Structure 1
Amino acid sequence: MPPTDQAPPAGDPPLPGVKRVDPALVARLDRALEAKGPRYEPHTRHRFPDGKPRYTNRLILESSPYLLQHAHNPVDWFPWGDAAFERARAEHKPVFLSIGYSTCHWCHVMEQESFEDTEIATFLNEHFVCIKVDREQRPDVDAVYMTAVEALTGQGGWPMTLLLTPDREPFFAGTYFPPRAGARGARVGLLEILRQMASRYATDRASVVARAEQVSRHMEALAEPAAPGAVPTAATVVAAARAFASRFDPAHGGFGGAPKFPQPARLDFLLRYAARTGDPGALEIVRRTLVAMADGGIYDHIGGGFHRYATDARWRVPHFEKMLYDNAQLAALYVAAYQLDGDARFARVARETLDYVHREMTSPAGGFYTATDADSEDDEGHSVEGWFFTWPASEVRKVLGAERAKVADAVWGITPAGNFEGGRNILYVGAPLAESAKKLGVTEAALRASLESSRRALFEARAKRKPPHLDDKIVAEDNGLMIGAFARASLALDEPRYLEAATRAASFVLDHLRAPGGALGRSFAGGAVSGDGYLGDYAAMIAGLLDLYEASAQPRWLEAARALQAQLDAHFWDAGPGGYFRTADTAEKLPMRTRPGYDGAVPSGNSLEASNLLRLAQLDGGDAHRARAERIFEAFSQMLERAPLAVPRLLSALEAYHDVALEVVVVRPADAAGEGPRAREAAALASVVRGTYLPGSFVALCTEAEARAQAARVPLFDGKAALHDAPTAFVCERGRCKLPTSDPAALRRQIAGMRRPLTTPAPAPLAVPER
């Protein structure tokens, strides 16, 4: 029992197992529920006959779509914060911590099986203080406790399930648990674990606390940075390329076996390596993988965009959620591959992916949404994984008619029995179109026309289904990645509407997620900003703004990038070993403050920052940013040299560090607009730049007035003019320039002649097995 002189703990909502109801809190929850409006659909099976939710907890007051999904569980959930831990300390209870995200399939399963179960909810409410965390809203909390899960179990994933002391130290951890012993063949379920741990905490708290302190010390040791070394040499880049090649799946593309993730950062590194060294093996790895993914079921052949990953080695059976950060990186990768390889398929996939994001993942105000769910409702209202994206053969025939359905079946692998659960079909391309056209007795052009007609018809039919849940929060980090993808595509594909999409999103983030003092927020949902920005938010936004600056030649984007960089340097930099912390020096103090280095589904902030700093150094003409980038390479030198598979994006930055800092500026005179001869000359020079893959370089297509206006703030624009009133291209390295030219062929030669060999002698080509 708490000490008698301590104020009694505040009450709770009327939930099973709750002993003290707080009328004021209940009134707040009722008002929040009423504010949802008459069309609000509560996410729960516990309802009154009129359809209203039987239970409402504190999460109804939150803005996170994930937390709101749990607002009507019978569990007495708290959001992360001091109030929950103070309650646990006052009532001498352990904390039950659950971390997930709104489009996580197994998070939904655990909610339905356990958190909607009144017996389990009652036990949780009686014996624990329960906290629910959206990992996309609080990546710092997620990272800290993922370390604990991995340390205690040897693996990680979501949902995360942990038990903590009131001092936030973990003493038990896992991921998904079935509700009870026997469910899904389990020997022990969540309820048995909770009973055992609650009993142990009540009867032997000293040993539980000692265990938690031991785990915390182990976590701190894991977070201790490795000793910095020298900046790794170019030989490290070569060794990394060989390490990636050794993991390549020659039969199906990608790396390793099932489940198979796209891993765009690895492919981007190999594409850079191929461009730098001319290594045909590196390019072949990228080509095979990009073709296999674009043909596979992981790609949405009807609506565009990529699903999260494939559950098989052949990319045919996806896990159906779609994440903004995946599609941002993959769209940019396909654009880059098109620039280097020239395969029109890559440009098509990039366009279709960006068009999907523009159509379905963009808010009216311009910001980009986070994700869509893997699950969607079938015709009877049941939640089924992949329902929205899959097809019975009979429905395909009904929509397309017999003749077009015959073609669609042959190309997209549709069978009467189905190739997926429930007799439904995942669409994938099983053979090259030329081969399918020959079998069908038609030309390849005619086949493409038929498929496009069928795609449009199926898209219209699919639009009548209830779509998957949309996580509509706008995360700064993910938006930065997508701003960069749209900006790069606008430049490479000469697509003004992509530039407009990038511009609107950048304006939204800077207008709505940036505080008056310049600090960045994490996310925007429900009309409000949630949480302070993390390293990844700043780094990705800086990268996106620099891409937008290149694509638009508008200095406001560079100034915004510089301002965000100043915030990072002031509040996130580790003055000891170097590199950036995940959180600002003003952030909530968690059990450990880490410097992220691992490039996972999203590149680490330090990897992005190494590249950002090199780019800013090129634009500013000084050495301070480059010196800071070197500190990052030194801080993570052991990872670069010993674990290259974990840091592909940082390796790309290291490759750029060991290359020429190339600058390509095309200046057009005022009369180069419209359809006249000057406009055609400017377009010819611009076409060379758009069609050339130039990673690590700065490119600008601008008017003479734009170049003149920026020269004072960006030294590389100094002296750049339209000579003899003709469009003029300048190819330079840190102010040292080739002769200005108005000849597209000369421009192409100058660019090619400026590249520096990675090593001397050149590295031996990568060995890539046949299929």
Structure 2
Amino acid sequence: MPNRLASATSPYLLQHADNPVDWVEWGDAAFEQAAARGVPVLVSVGYAACHWCHVMAHESFEDAATAAFMNEHFVCVKVDREERPDVDAVYMAATQAMTGSGGWPMTVFTTPTGEPFFCGTYFPPRRVQGMPSFAEVLASVAAAWTTRRDEVEASAGIIADALGEQQAPGGPGVGPSAEVVDHARAGLATTFDAARGGFGGAPKFPPSMVLEWLLRHHARTGDAEVLGMAGATLEAMARGGMYDQLAGGFARYSVDVAWVVPHFEKMLYDNALLLRVYLHAWRATGSELARRVATETAQWLLDELRTAEGGFASALDADSEGREGAFYAWTPAQLRAVLGDDDGAWAADVLGVTDEGTFEHGASVLQRRTDPTDTARLDDVRARLRADRERRPRPARDDKVVSGWNGLAVAALAEAGALLDRPDLVDAADVAARFLLRTHLRRAADGTARLVRTSRDGVAGSAPGILEDYAHVAEGLLALGAVTGDPAWSDAAGDLLETVLARFAADDGGLRDTADDETDAVVGRIRVLQDPADGPTPSGQSAAAAALLTFSSLTGSLRHREAAEAALRGPLLLAERFPRAAGAALAVVEALLDGPREVAVVGPPDDPATRALHAVALRSTAPGLVVAVGAPGADDPPLLRDRSLVGGVPAAYVCRGFVCDLPTTDAAGLARQLGR
């Protein structure tokens, strides 16, 4: 049955006309009714395009039990801030004074004469991150009004204290918090190799997840020291022998402490992760070195690992001609033979090739410790050496396609294509994603989406996917959706995450590494089913938390956000003692602490203004930023729902921490909103 908003003219109020809440419009009659009944007034303020306003409406105002409590204990007033900016301004000032922040949805409790005594913004239907549930807020305010009305009217402080007592965290484990991050950051700093970059001693593996965390931490806090640690490590790896100075791409690890001699095997997962980290480093700092490495690594993925079906092979071997590194190492004589005496001697000096050799048999691994002033000469030398190297016997390729590792590649290539203005990279990500969904995805008897772990030559294997496969493929699809604006990608990611929630749930509220119905008896007995530590790739729990959090922000699903936070508890317990093993989890925490921020760009896809706003959003360094772009009227993903053009032109809507800002049509204004 419609409430008393059915005759309203405001589109925002009309959106609430069928709520079971007995809403009334702002006006004297509402407060007269509250005085007659002797109850407080609940004033809910929002606007039609406010994403979190709609989330709260769906979660709470459409819930019959919540509505019944509201109707019994309050007079409920719904206000359109665009229709009544005067009312909005008064209560926003009160909200900011009481809470230190403000935004929409705004929830204000007032006396029957309109004086506010408790204010807030979004409240979830269940507790999240120490935030009380909306039901708890309603019960606390109603109880305080009934038992201590004189005190409530005299002071809002009593209510704030009472509410604060209910926000004490409960339950075992380590939840996401700034304190956990700060403790881990301090511990990591003690292992930093200030002289050579990286963390700890030899062998040195690329700390991809830790570097992503440090970049996000700097973006959130402005901490210059962590940016310095990340930058020094990224530069050392890029200039050392672990990076292929001719064709791009990283080897598995450095056997020495100074990044000189690598283990020459090249893995898809390393290069996908490092491509994304270097891309984000360039986005954050403008480093030309980071941009070059990101560009070359992306091209290397396409040139060396792309399969005929459009997926990406797993690895290149370390050996050729029966010897490790034979394809990559050079002697001074070999340089002279290819380049001539002058260029050969110059190249040996620039690329670190010595008579003694830095590797084996008098050969050296190419390095690039400094950049010469004559970059054109270096480019020419690199091209000639690479062409000659192509005549050598090549390392063998492991051409199986692994679901999770391809998910990492899809995410990295989609972002690289967008940020580097390389549509071909986005196209490659698209083709790989379609291949995964066509070849690696099937439907189980229970209707859930299931991944197989591998395929080869387009034929799927029989091994079931594990948690990291679901998480990384979902993350890749979400990244591709953010870049292309095609909602089919986020929908497909949602299917995979539903399987994660249905089949990977653990008894402690976290996530197992294997599905509960696809684990044989031997694996069930001997395997660690909840390994919280990062290895060469993010732990399954941390990777799932990242995808769940992004999907939650796109859809407003509190269930996915709660699952993300629960999945972090194991990795964050590890982070307290071994932060290097929990970089992926700490990166997700940075996103949680930042909101994460959400940007909905609305406009015709071929409009330059739409593309400009979209590009600004994608260039933001905000940790875990979630971006959706679509035409006016789009409602998939839900972050776009109820968004419209502003003044007839494309607009961007920014939300953060369950609160939405006013939309902007100006790309520079959006950059300021996002802190760039």
TM-score, with normalisation over the residues of structure 2?
0.71
Cα separation, partners in 2 of 1:687 and 1:519, compared to 1, 3 Å? closer
Query: Structure 2 matches for 1:436-515, cutoff 5 A?
Result: 437=372, 444=373, 447-515=374-442
- Whether contact under 8 Å (1:666, 1:685) holds in the other structure is yes
Distance of 1:527 and 1:365 partners within structure 2: 6
| Residue 279 (1) aligns with residue 223 (2) | yes
Distance of 1:311 and 1:320 partners within structure 2: 10
Match of 1:520 among 446, 451, 466: 451
- Whether contact under 8 Å (1:481, 1:543) holds in the other structure is yes
Query: Structure 2 matches for 1:331-410, cutoff 5 A?
Result: 331-377=275-321, 383-410=322-349
Distance of 1:651 and 1:704 partners within structure 2: 35
Match of 1:550 among 482, 489, 492: 482
| Residue 538 (1) aligns with residue 465 (2) | no
- Whether contact under 8 Å (2:572, 2:586) holds in the other structure is no
Cα separation, partners in 2 of 1:329 and 1:717, compared to 1, 3 Å? same
Once the two structures are superposed, residues 214-244 of structure 1 have per-residue CA deviations (whole angstroms, 9 ceiling, x without a partner) of xxxxxxxxxxxxx942524310101111111
- Whether contact under 8 Å (1:573, 1:581) holds in the other structure is no
Residue aligning to 2:626 = 698
- The structural deviation recorded for 1:695 is 2.3
Query: Structure 2 matches for 1:654-693, cutoff 5 A?
Result: 654-669=589-604, 672=607, 679=608, 681-693=609-621
Residue aligning to 1:177 = none
| Residue 269 (1) aligns with residue 236 (2) | no
- Whether contact under 8 Å (1:539, 1:605) holds in the other structure is yes
Distance of 2:579 and 2:666 partners within structure 1: 41
Task: For structure 1, list consecutive stretches of 5 or more residues without a partner in the other structure.
Answer: 1-226, 378-382, 438-443, 673-678, 754-771
- Whether contact under 8 Å (2:278, 2:290) holds in the other structure is yes
- The structural deviation recorded for 1:577 is 4.7
Q: CA RMSD in A?
A: 1.9
Cα separation, partners in 2 of 1:687 and 1:620, compared to 1, 3 Å? closer
- Whether contact under 8 Å (1:247, 1:255) holds in the other structure is yes
Match of 1:599 among 530, 534, 541: 534
- 2:354 is paired with a residue of what secondary structure? coil
Residue aligning to 1:614 = 549
- Whether contact under 8 Å (1:244, 1:266) holds in the other structure is no
Cα separation, partners in 2 of 1:458 and 1:230, compared to 1, 3 Å? closer
Cα separation, partners in 2 of 1:417 and 1:642, compared to 1, 3 Å? closer
Once the two structures are superposed, residues 124-179 of structure 1 have per-residue CA deviations (whole angstroms, 9 ceiling, x without a partner) of xxxxxxxxxxxxxxxxxxxxxxxxxxxxxxxxxxxxxxxxxxxxxxxxxxxxxxxx
- The structural deviation recorded for 1:260 is 0.9
- The structural deviation recorded for 1:391 is 1.3
- 2:195 is paired with a residue of what secondary structure? coil
| Residue 744 (1) aligns with residue 667 (2) | yes
Distance of 1:618 and 1:651 partners within structure 2: 18
Distance of 1:636 and 1:228 partners within structure 2: 14
Cα separation, partners in 2 of 1:408 and 1:727, compared to 1, 3 Å? farther
- 1:422 is paired with a residue of what secondary structure? coil
Once the two structures are superposed, residues 649-677 of structure 1 have per-residue CA deviations (whole angstroms, 9 ceiling, x without a partner) of 111112222222211233333662xxxxx
Match of 1:316 among 253, 260, 285: 260
TM-score, with normalisation over the residues of structure 1?
0.62
| Residue 427 (1) aligns with residue 359 (2) | no
Distance of 1:746 and 1:685 partners within structure 2: 10
Amino acid at match of 1:391: W
Amino acid at match of 1:373: D
Distance of 1:671 and 1:368 partners within structure 2: 31
Residue aligning to 1:253 = 197
Amino acid at match of 1:284: G
- 2:441 is paired with a residue of what secondary structure? coil
Amino acid at match of 2:312: F
- Whether contact under 8 Å (1:489, 1:498) holds in the other structure is yes
Once the two structures are superposed, residues 441-484 of structure 1 have per-residue CA deviations (whole angstroms, 9 ceiling, x without a partner) of xxx2xx11111111111111111111111100000011111111
Distance of 1:694 and 1:298 partners within structure 2: 30
Task: For structure 2, list consecutive stretches of 5 or more residues without a partner in the other structure.
Answer: 1-170
- Whether contact under 8 Å (1:228, 1:577) holds in the other structure is no
- The structural deviation recorded for 1:639 is 1.9
- Whether contact under 8 Å (1:367, 1:509) holds in the other structure is yes
Match of 1:648 among 572, 575, 583: 583
Once the two structures are superposed, residues 394-418 of structure 1 have per-residue CA deviations (whole angstroms, 9 ceiling, x without a partner) of 2211212223223211210122343
Cα separation, partners in 2 of 1:614 and 1:527, compared to 1, 3 Å? closer
Aligned residues: percent identity? 39
Cα separation, partners in 2 of 1:671 and 1:268, compared to 1, 3 Å? closer
Cα separation, partners in 2 of 1:308 and 1:537, compared to 1, 3 Å? same
Amino acid at match of 1:364: A
Distance of 2:611 and 2:561 partners within structure 1: 34
- Whether contact under 8 Å (2:468, 2:544) holds in the other structure is no
Residue aligning to 1:305 = 249
Residue aligning to 2:269 = 325
Distance of 1:690 and 1:572 partners within structure 2: 31
- The structural deviation recorded for 1:690 is 3.7
- The structural deviation recorded for 1:595 is 1.0
Distance of 1:344 and 1:241 partners within structure 2: 27
Amino acid at match of 1:515: R
Cα separation, partners in 2 of 1:548 and 1:656, compared to 1, 3 Å? same
Once the two structures are superposed, residues 92-111 of structure 1 have per-residue CA deviations (whole angstroms, 9 ceiling, x without a partner) of xxxxxxxxxxxxxxxxxxxx
- Whether contact under 8 Å (1:336, 1:693) holds in the other structure is yes
- Whether contact under 8 Å (2:490, 2:637) holds in the other structure is no
- The structural deviation recorded for 1:561 is 0.6
Cα separation, partners in 2 of 1:397 and 1:722, compared to 1, 3 Å? farther
- Whether contact under 8 Å (1:539, 1:612) holds in the other structure is yes
Cα separation, partners in 2 of 1:429 and 1:601, compared to 1, 3 Å? same
- The structural deviation recorded for 1:487 is 1.3
- 2:575 is paired with a residue of what secondary structure? helix
Distance of 1:526 and 1:244 partners within structure 2: 42
